[in-house]
Structure 1
Amino acid sequence: MKKWLLSIGLALTLSACGSGEDAPSTDEADTSSGGETSDEVFEVAVIPSQSTGEMETGLSNLESHLTDALGREVEVNQYPNYNAVVEALNYNHIDLAFLGPLTYLIAHEQSGAQAIITQEIDGEPYYYSYIITHSDSKWETLEDMLADREEVNFAFASNSSTSGHLIPGLELRNRGHYEDDLNNDFAQVQFAGSHDIVTTLVQDQSVQAGAVDSAILEALMKDDEANGGTLREDIKVIWQSDKLYQYPWVVPSEMTEEEIEDIRAAFYEITDEEILRIFGGASSFVEAGDTQYADVLEAAREFDMLKLEE
């Protein structure tokens, strides 16, 4: 696996190319079939839905599995932010990306990227956005928390996160209390960067409430229980969204159907517990497509978020 700092370097390079809304020049674009990189290495990029240490072993195992299953060299990298993965996909610098629903839709709008597969959790390809607080708090509902909103430090995951910002942010906006991190009714709003960091901030009571992915939270709780921790007892869910279709694995628009089927087959064979754990405690992988993300697309349009953050 490449060192994480190399991914940061790539992200900085890509950011200089612009937002990805304009077609790349001949020099920028990869002209090889299926978006493959010129050196034939199959490049996989993963958003930082969890911090680097949480995902390192699973991503290394995924790299080994895909190398064997696809019969070619594979490199899997966790990128430093959501935007960098979208930019890399738009400019054909990668062959496969693990994105949140919102970042997938941004890439789909900008470059025609295709969703091809997703993960099931306990046999269901769904998850939820949660707003959580510490179990010691007096709040039992979102309404309770909002009654004290001027005293609340609130943490979102990433600005480009579906469950960690778009969906809960839209709920708070529709209730008249949130527009962005600078325009809201809370004492303070911050973007922590990942769902596990939000969870830690709430558990430590560094913030009073936060927005997280339900599947990631459950996986964190199971890991914590195995190590004798108290995370499950320390966290209280005070709001739950409607069902959201799970994070998609996404390929560039030029990827051939034969290559797509090979990738799907490789994921269907995954049984490694470390790999499954880092993707929300997945039980299996199933086919996905554009239509399953229509509700998130509607929310993104309503919240004007079908673009990369500045």
Structure 2
Amino acid sequence: MGRFPILAVSALLLICGLLSSCERNPSEVNAPSTRIIREETLVIGVLPEKNVFEQRRRYQPLTEYLSDVLHMNVRIKLLDSYGAIARELEEQVIDAAVLGSLNYVLMHERGYVLPVARLVDLTHGADYRSIVFTRHDTGITEDIRSWKDKDIALVHPATLAGALFPRWYLYQSEKIDMSWYFNTVRYMGSHDSVVLAVYNGHAHLGAAKDDVIRAMQSDWPELQEGLLILTISEPVPSNTLSLRSDLADTLLERLQETLVSMHTYQQGITALQQLEASSFVATRDEEFDSLRVMMYELGVDSSHFSFAD
């Protein structure tokens, strides 16, 4: 007789416990306490400026920081060409991309992306310039008449520093079309390749980003004395992290705030050090207006621009 009330109470407590468990969120019951489960993913496309392994090493702390703060799986996808980045943004394979200034404008004008933020480099700041240069011993001067019938080395048609600026400079000076003014126009694929082509005598003059030229001059002092600057552009924003337009309402402000504040946290500082930067700065679309002027004066139509991989 005495055991029945005890057994009844125990059974009642067990039933209540089971009912309580059923009412709780299954994830609260089953999720391991030591593992973070993130359902959302943010894929950022990057065009390697260095070798693939070095690029992954540089971006790893940043993706870890963003994953922790945004509670998303943030990862880098290395793509091999400007055209590949354009296609994957258009097809929504990637969610964001680190874009050079001209690539950003081309993608923005097509409605694919909006600007988020860009790095403030420890040496060069948040902007860059295009430099047209030659060797000291070529006899070429700032007078563009001395450039005629020479061989010029450029980076890629989809770059401001390595193609669009020298093209615009000739056109706005004397309405000169680059296609017939030079003996040959060679696209080298990278800024450092242009510098080496000119220095080694494979081209008479070239155009590249100022930060690349100065970094190479720092590593090889002979480049400091060996190159002569012919003209230099106005500053434009450096490579900008840009987000797909269709994701802007839910993510742009949060992503931008996370980036521009990361230099105030130790984990963020560590990630920035790996990128050789002091911070991120918010980027505004109107900062690219000077580039749009160049495109307009040259008749460049962003909707029909070919990335010509």
Question: Aligned partners of 1:219 and 1:303: how far apart in 2?
Answer: 31
Greater gyration radius: 2
Counterpart for residue 92 of structure 1: 92
Contact 1:172 1:178 in 2 (8 A): yes
Contact 2:130 2:165 in 1 (8 A): yes
Percent identical pairs in the alignment equals: 22
Q: Report how far residue 63 of structure 1 moved.
A: 3.7
Counterpart for residue 308 of structure 1: 305
Question: Aligned partners of 1:286 and 1:198: how far apart in 2?
Answer: 29
Q: Which runs of 5 or more structure 2 residues have no equivalent in the other structure?
A: 1-38, 263-267
Report the number of matched residues: 259
Question: TM-score scaled by structure 1?
Answer: 0.73
Question: What is the one-letter code of the residue matched to 1:264?
Answer: Q
Alignment equivalent of 1:202, drawn from 198, 202, 221: 198
Alignment equivalent of 1:186, drawn from 163, 182, 185: 182
Question: Aligned partners of 1:95 and 1:54: how far apart in 2?
Answer: 22
More helix by share: 2
Counterpart for residue 158 of structure 1: 156
RMSD of aligned C-alpha atoms?
2.8
Q: Which runs of 5 or more structure 1 residues have no equivalent in the other structure?
A: 1-38
Counterpart for residue 78 of structure 1: 78
Where does 1:51-62 land on structure 2 (aligned, <5 Å)?
52=52, 55-62=55-62
Question: Aligned partners of 2:190 and 2:273: how far apart in 1?
Answer: 19
In the superposition, relative to structure 1, how do residues 201 and 177 fare at CA in structure 2: closer, same or farther (>3 Å)? farther
Question: Aligned partners of 1:211 and 1:123: how far apart in 2?
Answer: 18
Contact 2:134 2:228 in 1 (8 A): yes
Counterpart for residue 255 of structure 1: 247
Contact 2:118 2:282 in 1 (8 A): yes
SS where residue 275 of structure 2 aligns?
Answer: helix
In the superposition, relative to structure 1, how do residues 259 and 193 fare at CA in structure 2: closer, same or farther (>3 Å)? same
Question: Aligned partners of 1:66 and 1:194: how far apart in 2?
Answer: 29
Q: Report how far residue 210 of structure 1 moved.
A: 0.8
Question: Aligned partners of 2:98 and 2:280: how far apart in 1?
Answer: 13
SS where residue 299 of structure 1 aligns?
Answer: helix
- Residue 286 (str. 1) matches residue 278 (str. 2): no
Counterpart for residue 165 of structure 2: 167
Counterpart for residue 43 of structure 2: 43
Q: Report how far residue 221 of structure 1 moved.
A: 3.2
Question: What is the one-letter code of the residue matched to 2:184?
Answer: Q
Counterpart for residue 27 of structure 2: none
In the superposition, relative to structure 1, how do residues 135 and 125 fare at CA in structure 2: closer, same or farther (>3 Å)? same
Question: TM-score scaled by structure 2?
Answer: 0.73
In the superposition, relative to structure 1, how do residues 197 and 71 fare at CA in structure 2: closer, same or farther (>3 Å)? farther
Question: Aligned partners of 1:71 and 1:87: how far apart in 2?
Answer: 27
Q: Report how far residue 288 of structure 1 moved.
A: 0.8
Question: Aligned partners of 1:188 and 1:71: how far apart in 2?
Answer: 51
SS where residue 94 of structure 2 aligns?
Answer: coil
Contact 1:45 1:96 in 2 (8 A): yes
Q: Report how far residue 263 of structure 1 moved.
A: 2.4
Counterpart for residue 139 of structure 2: 138
Q: Report how far residue 73 of structure 1 moved.
A: 2.6
Question: Aligned partners of 1:161 and 1:275: how far apart in 2?
Answer: 25
Alignment equivalent of 1:264, drawn from 256, 265, 272: 256
